């Protein structure tokens, strides 16, 4: 079991390396760092441009494989992801932003998954009756609503709430209120309040997807023979469902978690941008706008690592839920 | 199973007319198709009904809310939002209609070949899919978007399709694998039917339903993706108009000039919702596991 | 008896239109029921105290629906009428909560398919403890575990089973666990729905024995659903016969066997013809099929456990067979014995892993080198009929299209769709039907027609009748017999029903764990079996005579089969009776097949006289 996980993680590592390399190549091909210097007044002499780009390791004169090799060796030997076009080490920038992104990601996906599983189970247990209908329609509407629209809806509601209350109950711009007076409890409360809407935004979208899959998995299980066995033992319909149904229905969900994680990451990036958070989503978009190859490649690496961690977590969850894969 | 009366006939579950009938039995499918028809009609004919042009400014109306003259209001340069929204919808639908089926096609080819042939080909396919899944496609799309955006809507559609086929390819592969093990495929092989004919006659028809559903849902997903890219500011470049570019321009003034945001956003949600309803109803009608409650 | 334990009166069950096609539950259950499909109509019967009642009928007769109705476990699309009374309590009026208090405590059920009936994520011990504590909340965990251990002993499972997960157990073991769960709270009535139909004949005998013991220990009555006349004769006191959802006849078991009033009952309960009808002389002549020391290993690479080699299973472990032209060889053995693999090794024309397969004179290892036309010609000469006829026909193709594919692929001349349909006794009008519009017997005839379309010389039949009801089974086998003689076919028939073998094959090969342990002329092997496994197989066949009650079967523990010496020794009744030095031989030396008394047998002690099977 443990050996399996280690092997699996190693396999993931290889995938991540290749994927990151591909990401670097893609960034090198699509981004044009030299364009930053074009059209400046006074014009930047080509020699200066060349020197600056060479210092960053993104000189278009050097073939991409050579640049990739340089980038990878720097990464392995010094743990360095290079400098961004603004001269800041990419690792430092990622370190500063990672917490912001992870906080949202962790809370949002966890809340969303729990909500989705609960709603999906509830809907399946009342198939074709009103709870099922309402949750189905709700999830379809949420699935059709991109996070940035949902964010505006939530913000509008918050503004209404605030104006009704006469004061700011739900602050939603940025991660905290700049220059807030008060000790750490006030700071913490302020941060928590700022977390509310973005977390909700990400969680609702995630929950909509999850509830559909959980509903389907649950319906499969409801028809399963072993749930009938549980009822023949003396479980009521409801207790057979919760004691014997949900656990089995969660098994395919662990695999689904691995696949849906990319979607969650995307949703999180958009949510960050919608709420003006300085997270990794913003960093990625800014790196593309800035034609910043190193920053873009660093973001891709960070993301790949997250996806891999999610994959390992999904494997562990799968093994924890299903004894059949443990032996 | 009871012995069938020799004179009894019933429609085969798999026939196309049966599928359509079953699909339209679901109210959500009827709603979805009706709304979708309206949306397409609006995109095709809507701009014609207006006297405005999407690119010229009405110098008498900068940033006006909806009026009898400008049904959806105007933006800060005085351009008519109704025409711009519907023209933008055209672009978005075009991107969706190209990218959805195209990514399904890629998924079908990769998945069916890997799953049915098995062996070394399959291992390469699986590895490729896994690799593509390690990086969230949206992140790669963001890298590609500026290049594609400059090249026009077709390039954007191409980029979305190229990065959106992996999950489906996995499903197709799994299906093809299980079909390969089904007795009727083995029977055909044992009868000496050539591999190509087995794929064409026995494997692909059984994948068709999955692919039709995926293509439909793919249209919805692509429209969303294009809008998101546009909103981030990395989609189509000006002067092209799509729901995404409109949302990018409108979201900054969602509070001050809400019509600039809500008309395109509302249309986006309605379009995607209608398409997914149709796709979902199709899936239910085609899925042999639903609607067959035996003894 | 004055008061029946269970009294079913005027039971009717109707299924509404399938779920999913109907998005809104129609208002008013009654009016909706009128438009649904009646599965059971006006069924009445009783089960007395300490009585075993068999519920028999062909598939689709409503047996399972009746059983589920008695337990209140029908899906929500079912509408139930009539009354079901258990010890005077009217069950159908109970709330889910009140009914659940009875289920498992007073009335329990054993389901048909043990592979899916056990919750996959709980240990057996936890399941038994749960079953006990559900009805006795004050029972401590320790006490419940102790009782669970007793239950294991009762059903002949070792105590360590409590720590096992269902997927670690064999089908027979799982069914025993389900029996233990059912009797855990000493119910008054056990309902068993085809408890052995998915199990091998040897395992079936054991599970029936366990059910019998558990029932006696609990003092319960049994409502036994089955289609096997042998099981009815061996275990039932009374029989209720169902057809199309109605009771057509019921009465005492001996009466129904000796003097059934309905022809339908007679056909259901009639024993298979056991007399050998095939020629008694061993056919000679050139071999149509020949296997020499063929091996086939399956490697199932588990995603989770490391090495593939751990999972390697030898499905064919040195199989040698000869089938002379025009003869029928039956392959028998329990599931996992390799009989289907052997059939496929002949029909697939794929080169074997090791050994030689020669079909109609061609060594199949040369097939990849053949040209396309030659390969097709060879294909045409060897055809396969699958176990699951429905699955072997593309659900999207009409009968005509399926047969045309067979005809076209083999470039057969002079045959047409109507012609091949006539050959298998089907009307040409069936040609435009889809598979799901055909009955099981019709499907198998279509599959047979497709196989025969190319005028093959060798026909491999993989359990062609195992999914069919007894009367249909007999018709189909008669058809195969007739076609075989008319078309001069060589047949390889995979079967688990020894009655079928005796009546339809000249030769028999008994397989056990990938090896042929005994082979020879059918009458020789079946009338005087020499391998202990063949004897066990024959002894386990239930006798369709209510006067012959089955003798108690020793409960075997089939864990950890040996990998050296004789592979059968852990289950061998003969070895248990042998003196130590002879038994030692079984442990140390792998027996080689040798000629004994007109057949080949792989047993060291095949000559030891043992009382013959009656």
- Residues B132-184 have pLDDT tens digits of 877 778 888 888 888 888 888 888 899 999 888 888 888 888 888 888 888 89
Residue C593 confidence (pLDDT) above 70: yes
**Cβ <8 Å between B224 and A146:** yes
Residue C35 confidence (pLDDT) above 80: no
User: Is the CB of residue C279 less than 8 Å from the CB of residue C506?
Assistant: yes
The H or E element that residue A226 is part of is helix A225-233
Q: Does any CB of chain C come closer than 8 Å to the CB of residue A130?
A: no
pLDDT digits (tens, 9 = 90+) for C44-63: 999 999 899 999 988 888 89
Cβ pairs A/C, distance under 8 A = 101
Give me B264's structure tokens: 């395109």
Q: What are phi and psi of C143, to 5 degrees?
A: -65, -40
Helix B81-117 / helix B258-286 crossing angle, nearest 10 deg: 30
Cβ pairs B/C, distance under 8 A = 105
Give me C503's structure tokens: 């009546």
Q: Does any CB of chain B come closer than 8 Å to the CB of residue A312?
A: no
Q: Does any CB of chain A come closer than 8 Å to the CB of residue B135?
A: yes
Give the residue-averaged pLDDT of B260-281: 87
Lowest mean pLDDT among A317-321, C99-103, C407-411, C433-437: C407-411
Residue C282 confidence (pLDDT) above 80: no
**Cβ <8 Å between A285 and B142:** yes
Domains of chain C plus CATH, in order, are: 46-77+85-269 (3.40.50.300), 287-526 (3.40.50.300), 531-601 (no CATH)
| Of residues C207, C173, C364, the one with CA closest to residue B190 | C364
Q: Does any CB of chain B come closer than 8 Å to the CB of residue C262?
A: no
Predicted local distance difference test score (pLDDT) of residue B9: 31
In Å, what is the CA distance from C195 to each residue of C70, C111, C388?
Answer: 17, 6, 21
Residues 6 or more apart whose Cβ sits within 8 Å of residue C473:
C465, C500
Distance, in Å, from the CA atom of C243 to the CA atom of C249, rounded to the nearest integer, reads 9
- Interface confidence, given as ipTM, is 0.83
Helices then strands, each counted (H, E), chain B = 12, 0
> DSSP character for A92?
H
Give me C506's structure tokens: 């000249």
Predicted local distance difference test score (pLDDT) of residue C448: 92
Q: What are phi and psi of A132, to 5 degrees?
A: -65, -45
Give me A139's structure tokens: 């999830």
Predicted local distance difference test score (pLDDT) of residue A230: 93
Which residues of C are less than 8 Å from A4 in CB distance?
303-306
Distance, in Å, from the CA atom of C573 to the CA atom of C594, rounded to the nearest integer, reads 20
Predicted local distance difference test score (pLDDT) of residue B211: 87
* Distance of residue A183 Cα from the nearest chain B Cα, in angstroms: 33
Instruction: Please state whether C350 falls in left (phi above 0), alpha (psi between -120 and 50) or beta.
Output: beta
Q: Does any CB of chain C come closer than 8 Å to the CB of residue A136?
A: no
Q: If pLDDT is split at 50, 70 and 90, which confidence band does C312 have?
A: low
In Å, what is the CA distance from B78 to each residue of B75, B89, B169, C597?
Answer: 5, 19, 46, 105
Identify which has the larger pLDDT, B238 or A74.
Answer: A74
User: Is the CB of residue B145 less than 8 Å from the CB of residue A30?
Assistant: no
**Cβ <8 Å between C20 and B290:** yes
Q: Does any CB of chain C come closer than 8 Å to the CB of residue A128?
A: yes
Give me C486's structure tokens: 């008319």
SS3 B107: helix
Q: If pLDDT is split at 50, 70 and 90, which confidence band does C458 have?
A: very high
Q: What are phi and psi of B108, to 5 degrees?
A: -65, -45
pLDDT digits (tens, 9 = 90+) for C145-193: 999 999 998 888 888 889 999 988 888 889 989 999 999 999 999 999 9
Residues 6 or more apart whose Cβ sits within 8 Å of residue B220:
A144, B96, B100, B271, B272, B275, B276, B279
SS3 A28: helix
* Distance of residue B282 Cα from the nearest chain A Cα, in angstroms: 15
In Å, what is the CA distance from A205 to each residue of A125, A171, A276, B164?
Answer: 22, 21, 18, 19
pLDDT digits (tens, 9 = 90+) for B45-59: 877 777 777 777 767
| Per-residue tens of pLDDT for chain A, all 327 residues | 677 778 777 888 888 888 888 888 888 888 888 777 777 777 778 888 888 788 777 777 778 888 888 888 888 888 788 888 788 888 888 998 998 899 899 999 999 999 999 999 988 888 778 888 899 889 999 989 999 899 888 988 888 888 888 877 777 777 777 777 777 778 788 888 888 899 999 999 999 989 988 988 888 888 888 999 999 999 998 888 888 888 888 888 888 888 788 888 889 999 998 888 888 988 998 888 888 888 888 898 898 888 888 888 888 888 888 888 776
Identify which has the larger pLDDT, C22 or B258.
Answer: B258
CB within 8 Å of chain B, chain C residues 225-254: 244
Residue C462 confidence (pLDDT) above 80: yes
Predicted local distance difference test score (pLDDT) of residue C460: 94
CB within 8 Å of chain B, chain C residues 442-471: 442, 447, 450, 454
Torsion, Cα B225 B227 B229 B231, to 10 degrees, reads -150
pLDDT digits (tens, 9 = 90+) for B93-128: 999 999 999 999 999 988 988 888 888 888 888 888
* Distance of residue A27 Cα from the nearest chain B Cα, in angstroms: 6
The H or E element that residue A4 is part of is helix A2-30
């Amino acid at each position: 079991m443990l050996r399996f996980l280690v092997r699996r993680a190693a396999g993931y590592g290889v995938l991540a390396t290749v994927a990151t390399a591909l990401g670097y190549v893609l960034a090198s091909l699509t981004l044009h760092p030299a364009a930053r210097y074009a059209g400046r007044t006074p014009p930047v002499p080509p020699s200066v441009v060349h020197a600056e780009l060479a210092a960053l390791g993104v000189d278009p004169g050097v073939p991409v494989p050579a640049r990739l090799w340089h980038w990878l060796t720097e990464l392995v030997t010094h743990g360095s992801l290079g400098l961004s076009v603004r001269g800041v080490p990419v690792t430092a920038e990622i370190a500063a932003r990672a917490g912001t992104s992870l906080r949202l990601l962790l809370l949002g996906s966890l809340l969303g998954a729990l909500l989705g599983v609960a709603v999906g189970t509830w809907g399946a247990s009342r198939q074709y009756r009103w709870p099922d209908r309402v949750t189905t329609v709700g999830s379809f509407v949420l699935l059709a609503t991109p996070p940035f629209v949902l964010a505006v809806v939530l913000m509008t509601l918050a503004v209404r709430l605030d104006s009704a209350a006469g004061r700011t109950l739900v602050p939603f711009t940025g991660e905290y209120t700049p220059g807030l007076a008060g000790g750490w409890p006030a700071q913490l409360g302020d941060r928590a309040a700022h977390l509310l809407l973005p977390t909700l935004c990400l969680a609702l979208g995630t929950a909509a997807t999850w509830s559909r899959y959980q509903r389907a998995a649950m319906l499969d299980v409801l028809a399963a023979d072993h749930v009938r066995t549980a009822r023949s033992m003396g479980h009521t319909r409801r207790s057979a469902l919760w004691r014997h149904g949900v656990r089995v229905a969660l098994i395919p969900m662990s695999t689904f978690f691995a696949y849906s994680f990319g979607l969650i990451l995307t949703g999180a990036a958009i949510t960050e941008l919608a709420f003006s958070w300085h997270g990794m989503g913003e960093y990625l978009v800014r790196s593309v706008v800035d034609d910043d190859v190193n920053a873009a490649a660093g973001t891709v690496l960070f993301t790949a690592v997250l996806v891999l961690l999610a994959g390992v977590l999904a494997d562990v969850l799968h093994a924890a839920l299903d004894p059949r894969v443990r032996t | 199973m009871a012995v069938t009366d020799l004179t009894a006939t019933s429609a085969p579950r798999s026939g196309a007319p049966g599928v359509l009938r079953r699909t339209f039995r679901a109210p959500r499918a009827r709603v979805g198709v009706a709304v979708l028809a309206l949306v397409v009609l609006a995109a095709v004919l809507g701009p014609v009904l207006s006297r405005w042009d999407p690119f010229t400014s009405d110098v008498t109306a900068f940033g006006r809310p909806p009026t009898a003259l400008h049904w959806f209001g105007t933006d800060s340069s005085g351009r008519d939002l109704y025409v711009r929204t519907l023209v933008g919808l055209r672009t978005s639908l075009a991107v969706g209609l190209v990218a959805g089926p195209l990514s399904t096609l890629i998924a079908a080819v990769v998945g069916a070949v890997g799953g049915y042939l098995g062996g070394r080909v399959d291992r390469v396919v699986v590895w490729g899919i896994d690799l593509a899944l390690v990086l969230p496609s949206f992140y790669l799309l963001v890298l590609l978007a500026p290049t594609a955006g400059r090249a026009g809507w077709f390039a954007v559609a191409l980029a979305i399709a190229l990065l959106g086929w992996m999950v489906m390819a996995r499903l197709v592969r799994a299906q093809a694998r299980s079909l390969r093990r089904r007795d009727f495929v083995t029977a055909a092989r044992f009868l000496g039917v050539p591999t190509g004919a087995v794929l064409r006659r026995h494997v692909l028809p059984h994948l068709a339903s999955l692919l039709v559903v995926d293509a439909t849902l793919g249209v919805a997903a692509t429209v969303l993706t294009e809008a998101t890219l546009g909103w981030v500011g990395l989609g189509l470049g000006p002067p092209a108009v799509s729901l995404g570019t409109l949302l990018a321009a409108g979201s900054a003034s969602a509070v001050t000039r809400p019509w600039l945001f809500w008309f395109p956003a509302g249309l986006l949600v309605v379009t995607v919702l209608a398409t997914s309803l149709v796709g979902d109803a199709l899936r239910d009608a085609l899925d042999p596991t639903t609607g067959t409650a035996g003894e | 008896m004055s008061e029946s334990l269970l009294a079913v009166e005027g039971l009717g069950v109707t299924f509404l239109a399938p779920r999913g096609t109907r998005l809104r539950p129609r208002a008013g259950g009654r009016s909706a029921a009128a438009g649904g499909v009646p599965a059971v109509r006006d069924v009445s019967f009783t089960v007395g105290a300490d009585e075993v009642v068999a519920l028999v009928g062909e598939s689709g007769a409503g047996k399972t629906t009746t059983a589920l109705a008695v337990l209140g476990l029908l899906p929500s699309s079912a509408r139930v009428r009539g009354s079901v009374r258990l010890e005077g309590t009217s069950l159908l009026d109970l709330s889910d909560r009140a009914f659940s208090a009875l289920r498992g405590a007073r009335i329990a059920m054993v389901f048909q398919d043990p592979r899916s009936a056990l919750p996959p994520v709980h240990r057996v011990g936890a399941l038994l403890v749960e079953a006990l504590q559900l009805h006795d909340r004050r029972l401590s965990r320790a006490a419940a575990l102790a009782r669970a251990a007793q239950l294991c002993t009762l059903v002949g499972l070792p105590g360590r089973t409590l720590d096992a997960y269902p997927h670690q157990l064999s089908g027979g073991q799982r069914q025993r666990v389900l029996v233990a769960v059912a009797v855990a709270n000493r119910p008054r009535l056990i309902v068993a729905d085809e408890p052995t139909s998915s199990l091998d004949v040897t395992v079936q005998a054991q599970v029936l024995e366990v059910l019998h013991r558990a029932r006696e220990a609990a003092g319960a009555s049994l409502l036994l659903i089955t289609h096997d006349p042998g099981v009815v004769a061996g275990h039932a006191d009374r029989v209720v016969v169902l057809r199309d959802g109605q009771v057509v006849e019921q009465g005492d078991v001996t009466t129904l066997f000796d003097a059934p009033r309905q022809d339908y009952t007679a056909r259901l309960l009639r024993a298979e013809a056991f007399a050998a009808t095939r020629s008694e002389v061993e056919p000679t002549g050139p071999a149509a099929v020949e296997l020499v020391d063929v091996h086939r290993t399956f490697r199932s690479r588990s995603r989770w456990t490391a090495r593939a080699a751990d999972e390697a299973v030898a499905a064919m472990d040195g199989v040698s067979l000869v089938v002379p032209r025009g003869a029928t060889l039956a392959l028998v053995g329990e599931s996992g014995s390799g009989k289907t693999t052997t059939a496929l090794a002949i029909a697939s024309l794929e080169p074997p892993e090791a050994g030689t397969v020669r079909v109609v004179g061609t060594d199949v290892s040369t097939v990849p080198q053949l040209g396309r036309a030659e390969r097709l010609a060879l294909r045409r000469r060897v055809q396969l009929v699958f176990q699951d006829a429905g699955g072997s026909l593309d659900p999207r193709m009409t009968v005509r299209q399926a047969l045309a594919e067979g005809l076209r692929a083999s470039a057969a001349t002079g045959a047409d769709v109507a012609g091949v349909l006539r050959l298998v006794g089907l009307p040409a009008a069936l040609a435009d039907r889809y598979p799901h519009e055909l009955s099981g017997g019709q499907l198998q005839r279509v599959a047979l027609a497709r196989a025969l379309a190319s005028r093959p010389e060798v026909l491999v039949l993989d359990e062609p009748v195992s999914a069919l009801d007894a009367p249909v089974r007999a018709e189909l086998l008669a058809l195969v017999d007739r076609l075989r003689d008319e078309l001069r076919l060589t047949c390889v028939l995979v079967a688990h029903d020894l009655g079928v073998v005796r009546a339809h094959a000249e030769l028999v090969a008994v397989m056990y764990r990938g090896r042929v342990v005994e082979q020879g002329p059918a009458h020789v092997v079946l009338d005087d079996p020499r391998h202990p496994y063949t004897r066990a197989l024959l002894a386990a066949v239930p006798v369709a005579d209510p006067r012959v009650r089955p003798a108690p079967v020793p409960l075997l523990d089939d864990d950890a089969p040996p990998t050296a010496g004789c592979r059968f020794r852990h289950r061998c009744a003969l070895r248990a009776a042998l003196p130590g030095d002879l038994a030692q031989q079984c442990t140390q030396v792998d027996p080689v097949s040798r000629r004994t008394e007109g057949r080949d047998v792989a047993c060291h002690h095949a000559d030891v006289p043992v009382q013959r099977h009656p």
